[in-house]
Amino acid sequence: MRESKIEKYLVNKMEQVGGECIKLQVRSWPDRLCIFKDGPIIFVETKAPGKDLRKNQQETANNLKRIGHRVYKIDSQPRVDAFIKAIIREQHEISTPDN
């Protein structure tokens, strides 16, 4: 599957859950900035299945993580689904007090 198809799927899924998925066009930065409704802002690099980040992309991801940001590499539609589900679950756990 092509990277562009995975990226488009990510954008559509984010819209379905009420979020935004902004295209970043800065060399070596992640492809997208995913903004969850009432939730976190997360950098996402989409890749074709099995492809790794290039060296400059990995350096940028490491720098973003070092200053407290979350960065994910997603290389399939099932991983898009798992990513969104995990963040929504995390949001729910944070907003629901323990009994």
Domain CATH code at residue 25: 3.40.1350.10
77-27-69-52 Cα dihedral, nearest 10 degrees:
50
What is the pLDDT, as a whole number, of residue 93? Answer: 82
E strand or H helix at 85, and its extent? helix 77-95
Domain that holds residue 87: 3-95
The Cα 30–Cα 71 span in angstroms is 8
Query: What's the average model confidence in pLDDT over 11-18?
Result: 97
| 21 confidence band (pLDDT: 50, 70, 90) | very high
Which tens digit of pLDDT belongs to each residue from 47-71? 999 999 999 999 999 999 999 999 9
Q: Is the pLDDT of residue 99 over 60?
A: no
Count of domains forming the chain: 1
Model pTM above 0.85 = yes
